[in-house]
Amino acid sequence: MFWRRGKKEKKNTILFLIDWENIIRNIISGDPENFSLSLGFDNLMKNLAQLGKIGSVFVFTPPHIAPSHLELLVKLRFFPIFCPKVKDKKGEESDSTDNMLMDFGRKMIEQMPKLTHLCLASGDKDFLPLIREAIHRGLKIIIVAGDTKSLSDELIDLADKNPATGEKMVFLFSATV
């Protein structure tokens, strides 16, 4: 007798890219006694895990911000990527974080065939080209922001709906207990 195998359900795999400075700068801290980045990320990761397997988490940060958070990033098993200021043709320094995150994200999208979701932790509309490219490649979009003021309406519009709840997959990062 031959057994028919049912179709395997496609498991979701999430690539998580964090614009560290954007998230850290825009977190609503409130009472310092109840503030915990570690707990905030634990809660966020639990929410994301309900949507699928988190493949890897890459944190893009200027080097001057990273030292105070390196221990936490290592504890969380996030991969920090340092984005130094670079000089343009005129010799003026500019931040490289956005460009490095977008270049890296494009390469990962191309090289991860089982990827189903892109999660961007930044409310910055400068990332719209990456998000649109991910959508073009069939990925679902998840957005995380530090607060509503830093969250671009365009990013909200491009976020997909959670099939279980019907709500947009937009999360506000909360680091308060």
78 backbone dihedrals φ, ψ, rounded to 5°: -90, 150
Q: pTM of the full predicted structure?
A: 0.88
Query: Which residues pair with residue 132 across a beta bridge?
Result: none
Q: How many CB atoms lie within 10 A of CB 91?
A: 6
Convert the pLDDT of each residue in 50-94 to its tens digit.
999 998 999 999 988 877 888 999 999 999 999 998 888 888 888
Q: For residue 25, what pLDDT band results from cuts at 50, 70 and 90? A: confident
Give the domain 13-172 fold: Rossmann fold (3.40.50)
Per-domain residue ranges of the chain: 13-172
How many residues are listed for the chain in this entry? Answer: 177
Residue 113 to residue 135: CA distance in whole angstroms: 14
Q: For residue 98, what pLDDT band results from cuts at 50, 70 and 90? A: very high
